[in-house]
Structure 1
Amino acid sequence: MNISPEFVSVGGNRNPAAADWDVNGSGVLAFGADNCIALWDPQDEKLSGVQAVSNGHTKAVNAVKFFPTRSPSVSVLLSGAADNTIRIWRAQNNRKPKYECVKSVSGHANPITKIATLSGSDIFASGSSDGSVKIWKLVHDDRFTSIDVELLQTIALSPKYFPLILALAQLDTESMVLAVAGTRPTIQIFVSRDTQFQLSATLIGHEGWIRALDFTRETSDSSSDLLLASASQDKYIRLWRFHQGNELPAASSALNDPALGGLVKSLSNKAHWIESATSKHSITFEALLLGHEDWIYTASWRHRNDKLQLLSTSEDNSLAIWESDPTSGVWVCITRLGEISAQKGSTSATGSAGGFWIGLWSPDGNSVVSLGRTGSWRKWTYSSTEDMWTRQVAITGHVREVRGVTWSRDGSYLLSTSQDQTTRLFAEWKREGSAPSWHEFSRPQIHGYDLNCVDAISDTEFVSGADEKLLRVFDEPKGVAEILSKLCNIESRNTADLPDAANIPVLGLSNKAIQAVGDNEPVEEGEENERDAVDPASIVRKSALEFSHPPFEDHLARHLLWPETEKLYGHGYEISTVAVSRDSSLIATACRASSIDHAVIRLYDTKDWLEVKPALKAHSLTVTSLQFSPDDRYLLSVGRDRQWVVWERIDEPSLYALKYSNSKGHSRMILNCAWSPLEQPTFLTAGRDKSVKIWQIADSEVRLKGTVAANASITAIASSAKVMSGKAWFAFGTEAGEIGIASAKAEALDSVEVTMVSAESSPAKTINQIVWRPARSEEQGQQIAVAADDSSVRVYNIVGGSAQSAA
């Protein structure tokens, strides 16, 4: 059996040091995604998204940096994480990048915060929240077939602070310079002598923590002055000039810039002197860059078109490109990209993106990418014909554990729901002359509570449950239906009666349906009463819902919500699971519980949205999973009390009554269950005791027909909707992130064949849910969608073959 990854969606870590774009040849962008490293090629015309995910770290990845190999055939990546280790990864550039971890280095006592490299050198530096910076040397042969690391020096920062940012540069032919800054308003400059760095100067001027440092030569001439950019939470960027010789450089005319007004007094131009073994250098303050309105997270240099430019990103939702005016020498912002701050709202639902945390130049300098609070990347490319920067399609993903995933009833799109309080819709963009590519097309729900479960009611409706004790039902708006129809060839129902879009009122949790306004139509203001005034963030213009490409993050966060149509009340604690009957007439739910009174299953009728009473009582602890049988005759429930219960459909007084139960179904809690499509009623249970059990109902009793053992607790199980090649197929996922695809003949359920998904394609953490894509023919091959705790949503292709046998 051949199992291959079709699509991976994962959000980036909110850490300014957690991404790097390789300028050395591979063109790959690597970013920290939870405790993994995701690899993406932003310049890929096929838009295939995340190409691979490398697992290895045990905690969140904080720092990612490509090592300058000076070889086009091999790429080396350094990563540092909250597990206090640095890992070294290697890949061959001549094929699709596949990074293997060749070395793990532990030397720091606390999480790594930043890694800095130096082009043309084997030295790199790492900073950690243990208050130290370590200088390392990468020992390798020409082709990097063997790689080792040697610790050269440990610098204990005095006074002690956390180094958030480091920068290395070549000072002269003999010496290097290291700049270190972080949770203090000063920058410490260290100069190397015989491989040992010594503190040589402390630069003052900033008034907040310093988040970004970057060195560059002023011109392409290696003997030109060195410039250092520093950016801080005080909203300013400062430039410093390192000038060789005993004379000071000509004073910067930028200091006389009238725009600086009363700040000039605080801009002292005191020179600091530093010495290497062979030369003397002065460090002087060069310029102050004003323009950002909030904390600045990154600043990076690039020589573009014979001009020196600086890219900065800020919490104010903007990304700025700065350049020195050739006549006055004043540094000005020549391009500003991002979101208009007027559209900031109180939550991400009403427009606030929460700032840009990372900004990176592409290898050719003609594109920039930025990562925001929602884990989504944005990309702009410079068009020389139009002389402007234009938005391009980038990638999005969840930033917290993904708890639930479900396909629409016809299998045309995928919904996922997460602890990051969003529900997202993924589908395939079908373009002429190009292979389909997966993208996020809508963000139906942006919530104030962690979301735990989701299920489709119909092709255009779904229900989700959160930590708020109630369930919410959502209906597809016209704007989303038209986007899916146009870009994904998903046939939409009659959309005439549907609302155009939805929005969340300020301080609200419920998505309200709204109609879009024509671009030239005036917005009606409220009456005299101020309370009726229209919130500008609640207006959607019709043009904002017209797309020729998958929507950008700004639209996803603001215009592509689904209106909420119903709330289902009744539970006393956080919702744990939800299931919709096959005929869509009933919704079954359960909540977290520690007593028989709360561990009930509640049924709701989807015609009038009322609860069908009484609730079903049998479990004594949280019900972890519910599923209706293929013909809706039975409802299966499993729980933390180690028992499974089969409820049979009756007419009165409730719709279901207890038929079979087994209080010792597993030796430990049961975490998931599924019905098989076999003619004889057959179901599967999976639990903490590392086993899947296959049960069959026959002759008024339930018999155990087979058991599959795994290496870890089994946390998710799903069965395909139909029998293929005379076999029942199911997939299971474990607490360790392993995925197994299993099949068994109907008459021999005790001999199950299992194929495990390769470790490099599997998630790094617990699998929470697996679902098979409905309405797939055997010629198309099967697909499963997987939700995992490593914040990823993955789709796998399964092409049948001879599976290896497993006990």
Structure 2
Amino acid sequence: MVISLDFFSIGGNRNPAAADWDVDGSRLLAFGADNCIALWDPLDSNKYGVRSILNGHTKVVNAVKFFPTQSPNVSILFSGSADHTVRIWRMSSEAEFDFEPVKTLSEHQGPITRISVLSGSDIFATGASDGTVKIWRLVHNSDFSSLDVELLQTITLAPRYFPLNIALAILDESSTVLAVAGTRNTIQIFISHDTHFELAATLTGHEGWIRALTFTRETSDKDSDLLLASASQDKYIRLWRVHRGNELPTVSSALNDPALGVLGKSLSNKVHRIESKVTKYSITFEALLLGHEDWIYTASWRQRDGKLQLLSTSEDNSLAMWESDPTSGVWVCTMRLGEISAQKGSTTATGSAGGFWIGLWSPDGNSVVSLGRTGSWRMWTYMPSEDIWAQQVAITGHTKEVKGVCWSRNGSYLLSDSSDQTTRLFAEWKRKSQSSWHEFSRPQIHGYDLNCIDTITDSQFISGADEKLLRVFDEPKGVADILGRLCDIRITGAQLLDAANIPVLGLSNKAIQTVGDDEPVDNGVADDGEAVDPASVARKSTLDFDHPPFEDHLARHLLWPETEKLYGHGYEISAVATSNDGSLVATACRASSIDHAVIRLYDTKEWLEIKPPLKAHSLTVTALRFSPDDKHLLSVGRDRQWALWERNVDSTYTLKSANPKGHTRMILGAAWAPLEQPTFLTAGRDKSVKIWQLSEGEAQLKSTVAATSSVTAIACSEQTSQDRLVFAFGTESGEIGIGLVSAQTLDQAQITMVSGKLSPAKTINQLVWRPSKEDVDRQLAVASDDTSVRIFKVVVE
């Protein structure tokens, strides 16, 4: 069997230190995604998305930094995590997008908060919540084939605080300067004497935690002044000048700027004197940058077109570029990108991006990327011909555990739902000779964690959440048009609504109309004085584009209208399944007694419950599956039993057989095999997959496949080539096995395990094979607790 990855989707961690773009070797962008590190090439013309994921950390990755190797052939990556360790990775020579772990540093006693490197030097610094900053030296040979690390110094911060950021710069030939700040409103400046750093100055002025620190030289001349930018939760960026010699630099005009008015009082021009072995320096306040309306998370310098520019990102959903006015020397914002949302604190559905947490320059300085609260990246590239920054297609992903995945009935697109309270639709963008997977719609943005999902028709799905009811959604025209235009997915015969939105203070997606750009909007009220709610109308032009939608569209314009709610359960919904003919939906909820551990059936025409509910289980039902001909319904539960229900003439089901000791531990997954003789598989916490076959009305155990840890998900491929059955199972530790078994000898299964580099880092929640009647390569979708959605290609030889 040949198993490869077709698609990764994973959201970025909300931490300003958790991403870095490699300037030297790989030119890749690495970002923390839950416990993993994802590698992405934003400038890739094929728009392939995430290329690989590095597993190893046991807790959330907080800090990611590339070491400046100054070689195009080598990349070294540092990652720091809440598991108290720093890991060092080296780009492997065999695979272009693969890094191998080289070393783990576990000297810190708390979660790592920041890693800082120094270009042209082997020194790097790490900060952690144990209130210390450690200075290290990377010991290596010229091609980095041998690596070691030596700890030079541990600085215990006093008064104690968490170092949220660290900046290093070369002061002169004998000394290095280190700036540290974090959960206080002061910046500590340390100067190295030999390799030992000592506190030299404390800069005051900020009125909130300091979120960003970054050094640069004012011009490309290495003897020019050093500039330090500090950005804070007080909404301001301060610039500080480190000047060589006893004379002070010319006084900055920023202090006397009348526009600063009342702020002028807090702008002191106190001179801080520091000295290295060679000479003396002064640190003075240079400028105050005003413009952001909320906390500022990142700031980074770049020499672009001979000008020094500073990029900042803020909780106010904007990304700003600052440069010094050549005549007055005053720092001004020359470009602002992002969203101007008037609705402060509003939900994602009404248009808030939840702030930009990370902002990075590309290696050539002509593109910028930023990460928002929804785990999605945005990218802008400078177009010199039009002199604008144009938004580009970037990547998106869930930010919490992915609980369920399902393919549309014809296999044309994939839906996933997650504890991050969103449902997402992924499809293949088809161009002339290329194709790549992207998120094309976000049908549901909800107030509850979502647990399970299934499709009813090609344009309708049902999802269950922690709120005791199930919701049914219909595809809107706008999404159908985009999928038809870009993915060649056509829907026939369905009456589609125009679009949807979430009313303010609501949880249900309401259908709304789309109107042309020039058409007047009627508020539907007799009194014309009433203003029209802008959210209740969608302009057709907003969905007219020739590329996968940007995050702005996904978060606002691509919801699906909700058409039905199904009531009846008393607790959080745990499982849902639709019959193969689409006429019935079976659902179950979390339960600790026989009264709640019932299976409810609903018909999909009138959406009425078919009474009575099915009773057999005494604890939560974990999975429900209809047989390929819908004659049987299989249910498995935490009470270790499976139950088989048989369909009657009137579409009701009665208990045919049950096995109260199906497994020795709880059963977590179930699947039907597409064989002539009814055959089903169950997966349990007892680390086994069991294959059962019905003969003369009795289910007999035909085979047991052992796994190395609890089996949490199982699925059978519909394609049976040469009378062979292909199934996949996933475990609690993230392993995936693909099994191959002959229909005649079910007790001889060949298992191929997916390589650890490709499989998820945490529990697998659901596996689904892509429906296909042709004999093409099989595709398997995987939902996992490590926040990823993956699509594997499986070639059975």
Same fold (TM over 0.5): yes
The residue aligned with 1:198 is: 198
Mapping 1:304-343, distance limit 5 Å: 304-342=304-342
Q: Which amino acid aligns with 2:266?
A: S
The alpha carbon displacement at 1:532 in A equals 6.1
| C-alpha deviation, 1:783, in angstroms | 0.3
Letter in 2 for 1:556: L
What is the aligned counterpart of 2:764 among 767, 770, 793?
767
Aligned to 1:718: 715
* Selected match of 1:660 from 654, 657, 660: 657
Alpha-carbon deviation of 1:339?
A: 0.4
1:681 counterpart residue number: 678
**How far is the alpha carbon of 1:6 from its aligned partner?**
0.3
The answer to whether structure 1 residue 535 and structure 2 residue 533 are counterparts is: yes
CA drift at 1:94:
8.3
Provide the residue aligned with 2:479 in structure 1: 480
Counterpart in the other structure of 1:752 = 749
How far off its partner does 1:107 sit?
Answer: 0.9
Distance 2:367 2:222 in 1: 25
Q: Distance in 1 between matches of 2:710 and 2:95?
A: 36
The two structures, once aligned, show a CA RMSD in angstroms of 1.3
Q: Could you list the per-position Cα deviations for residues 630-654 of structure 1 after superposition, in whole angstroms to 9, with x for gaps in the alignment?
A: 00000000000000000001135x7
Give the alignment partner of residue 561 of structure 2, picking from 560, 563, 573: 563
Q: Which residue of 2 aligns with 1:805?
A: none
Q: Tell me, in whole angstroms, the C-alpha distance in 1 between the residues paired with 2:530 and 2:468.
A: 31
Tell me the residue number matched to 2:606: 608
Contact preservation (8 Å) 1:586, 1:604: yes
Q: What amino acid is aligned across from residue 795 of structure 2 in structure 1? A: V
> Structure 1 CA distance, aligned partners of 2:666 and 2:738?
22
Q: In the alignment, what sits opposite 1:734?
A: 731
Percent identity reads 73
Structure 2: runs of 5 or more not aligned = none
Cα distance in structure 1, aligned partners of 2:326 and 2:530: 52
SS of corresponding position for 1:759: coil
What is the CA–CA distance in structure 2 between the aligned matches of 1:532 and 1:727, rounded to whole Å? 66
The answer as to whether partners of 2:719 and 2:772 remain within 8 angstroms in 1 is no
Give the distance between the partners of 2:697 and 2:194, measured in 1 at CA. 84
Q: Pick closer, same or farther for the CA change 1:345–1:113 going to 2, 3 Å.
A: closer
Shift, 1:344, TM fit: 5.2
**Amino acid of the structure 2 residue aligned with 1:513:** A
> 2:746 and 2:92 mapped to 1: Cα distance?
44
Match of residue 424 from structure 2 = 424
Amino acid in the other structure paired with 1:166: I
Show CA shifts across 1:753-806 (max 9, x none).
11111000000000000000001522x3100000000000000001112xxxxx
Mapped pair 1:373 → 2:369 = no
Q: Indicate the residue corresponding to 1:348 in structure 2.
A: 348
Q: CA deviation at 1:145?
A: 1.3
Assess if the C-alpha contact under 8 Å between 2:32 and 2:61 holds in 1.
Answer: yes
The change in CA–CA distance for 1:600 and 1:339 in structure 2 (over 3 A counts) is: same
Question: Which of residues 617, 620, 643 in structure 2 aligns to 1:619?
Answer: 617
Match of 1:693 in 2: 690
Instruction: Determine helix, strand or coil for the equivalent of 2:722.
Output: coil
Q: Secondary structure at the match of 1:557?
A: helix
Asked if 2 retains the 8 angstrom alpha-carbon contact of 1:526 and 1:532, the reply is no
Q: Which amino acid aligns with 2:536?
A: S
Q: CA deviation at 1:343?
A: 5.4
Asked if 2 retains the 8 angstrom alpha-carbon contact of 1:208 and 1:234, the reply is yes
Q: Aligned AA for 1:683?
A: F
3-state SS of paired residue (1:515):
strand
Closer, same or farther: CA 642–339 of 1 in aligned 2, 3 Å: same
For 2:594 and 2:362, how far apart are their aligned partners in 1? 58
Q: 1:788 aligns with which of 784, 790, 793?
A: 784
1:469 aligned residue? 468
Tell me how far apart the structure 2 counterparts of residues 94 and 770 of structure 1 sit (CA, whole Å). Answer: 30
- What is the CA distance between 1:699 and its match in structure 2? 1.5
Cα distance change of structure 1 residues 226 and 534 upon mapping to structure 2, 3 Å threshold: same
Offset, 1:528: 8.0
The alpha carbon displacement at 1:606 in A equals: 0.3
Give, in angstroms, the shift of residue 143 of structure 1: 1.3
> How many angstroms apart in 2 are the aligned matches of 1:485 and 1:612?
36
- Paired with 2:25 and 2:43, the residues of 1 have a C-alpha distance of 13
Q: CA deviation at 1:189?
A: 0.4
1:222 is aligned to 2:222: yes
> 2-side partners of 1:471 and 1:275: how far apart?
68
User: CA offsets, 1:597-633, max 9 Å, x none?
Assistant: 0000000000100000000000000000000000000
Aligned to 2:510: 512
| Cα distance in 1, alignment partners of residues 672 and 592 from structure 2 | 26
8 Å CA contact retained: 2:341, 2:351: no
Pick closer, same or farther for the CA change 1:754–1:94 going to 2, 3 Å. Answer: closer
- Cα distance in 1 for partners of 2:190, 2:532 equals 56
CA distance in 1, matches of 2:43, 2:88: 25
Three-state SS of the structure 1 residue aligned to 2:172 is coil
Task: Quote the offset at 1:95 in angstroms.
Answer: 5.1
Is the 8 Å Cα contact of residues 685 and 694 (structure 1) preserved in structure 2? yes
Which runs of structure 2 are paired with 1:227-246 in the superposition (5 Å)? 227-246=227-246
Is 2:589 the counterpart of 1:582?
no
Conserved in 2, the CA contact under 8 Å of 1:75 and 1:93?
A: no
SS of corresponding position for 2:406: strand
CA distance in 2, matches of 1:144, 1:665: 55
Q: Report SS of the residue matched to 2:284.
A: strand
Q: What is the CA-CA distance between 1:520 and the residue it aligns to?
A: 2.1
**Conserved in 1, the CA contact under 8 Å of 2:503 and 2:535?**
no
Matches within 5 A, 1:16-27: 16-27=16-27
Shift of 1:529: 7.1
Task: Name 2:97's counterpart in structure 1.
Answer: 97
Distance in 2 separating the partners of 1:160 and 1:39: 35
In 2, Cα distance between the equivalents of 1:162 and 1:540? 46
CA distance in 2, matches of 1:493, 1:342: 40
Q: Structure 1 residue 181: deviation in Å?
A: 0.5
What is the TM-score normalised by the length of structure 2? Answer: 0.99
Question: Structure 2 counterpart of 1:740, which letter?
Answer: G
Give the superposition deviation at 1:518.
1.7
Sort the Cα spacing of 1:638 and 1:134 in 2 relative to 1 into closer, same or farther, 3 A: same
Q: Secondary structure at the match of 2:443?
A: strand
Is the 1:297–1:314 contact (alpha carbons within 8 Å) kept by the matching residues of 2?
Answer: yes
CA distance in 2: counterparts of 1:201 and 1:523, whole angstroms:
62
* Contact 1:351–1:537 (8 Å) recurs in 2: no
Deviations 1:363-387 (A, max 9, x none): 0000000000000000000011101
2:147 counterpart of 1:157: no
Residue 14 of structure 2: SS of its match in structure 1? coil
2:147 is matched with 147
Give, in whole Å, the separation in 1 of the partners of 2:282 and 2:533.
Answer: 54
Preserved contact between residue 776 and residue 782 of structure 1 (Cα < 8 Å): no
**How big is the shift at 1:144?**
1.2
Residues 345 and 351, structure 1, Cα contact 8 Å, conserved in 2: no
* Letter of the structure 2 residue corresponding to residue 173 of structure 1: E
Q: In 1, are the aligned partners of 2:25 and 2:69 still within 8 Å (CA)?
A: no
Q: What is the CA deviation profile of residues 158-217 of structure 1, one whole-angstrom value per residue up to 9, with x for unaligned ones?
A: 000111011000011111111000000100001111211101000000000000000000
Q: State whether residues 92 and 100 of structure 2, in contact with CA within 8 Å, keep that contact through their aligned partners in structure 1.
A: no
**Is contact 2:719–2:773 with CA below 8 Å preserved after alignment?**
no
Q: Is the 8 A contact 1:73 1:94 kept in 2?
A: no
In the superposition, relative to structure 1, how do residues 528 and 319 fare at CA in structure 2: closer, same or farther (>3 Å)?
Answer: farther
Name the structure 2 match of 1:458: 457
Shift of 1:527: 4.6
Contact 1:526-1:533 at 8 Å conserved across structures: no
Q: Secondary structure at the match of 2:703?
A: strand
Shift of 1:253: 1.7
1:370–1:379 Cα contact (<8 Å) kept = yes
Q: Is the 8 A contact 2:666 2:684 kept in 1?
A: yes
- Aligned residue number for residue 389 of structure 1: 389
Q: How does 1:26-425 map to 2 (within 5 A)?
A: 26-92=26-92, 96-342=96-342, 346-425=346-425
TM-score by length of structure 1 reads 0.97
1:176 and 1:628 mapped to 2: Cα distance?
Answer: 68
